Structure 1
Amino acid sequence: MIFSIIMLITALLCAVAIVREVRRKNFFAVGFAGITFVVFGWFAVATIISIITTGGGAPTAH
């Protein structure tokens, strides 16, 4: 769960970076921040959904 929260915080910081760099008209940075936002955001949401639906964290050996 901590890992998904860290990824979500990273995605939110990238969203802030996208807005800031669009104002500066630095589209190279907007591209990298956009890609990072999509990747980290997708993994964060997928991890949170996985934790909610499976009812736990990593699988354990029985």
Structure 2
Amino acid sequence: MGLVIITGLTAILAIFGLISALRNKNLLGIVFAFGTAAVFGWFAVMTLIHSGFPAVH
């Protein structure tokens, strides 16, 4: 569960970075922030789906 939290927080911070890069019209920042948000967000969601929920007995 800790991995989901860390990757989720990284994705959220990347979204804030993306917003900041969009405001400053920084093209390279937009590309890297979008890529980071996409990769870490996808990894957090898929980790949560695959092994994040406790097993039901």
Same fold (TM over 0.5): yes
> Are residue 8 (structure 1) and residue 13 (structure 2) matched?
no
| Offset at residue 40 of structure 1 (A) | 0.3
Q: TM-score, normalised by structure 2?
A: 0.88
Aligned partner letter, 1:22: L
| Offset at residue 27 of structure 1 (A) | 1.1
What corresponds to 1:18 in structure 2?
18
Task: State the secondary structure of the residue aligned to 1:45.
Answer: helix
Q: Map 1:1-62 onto structure 2 (within 5 A).
A: 1-51=1-51, 52=53, 55=55
| Offset at residue 34 of structure 1 (A) | 0.4
The count of corresponding residues between Structure 1 and Structure 2 is: 54
Runs of 4+ in structure 1 off by over 4 angstroms are none
Runs (5+) with no aligned partner, structure 1: 56-62
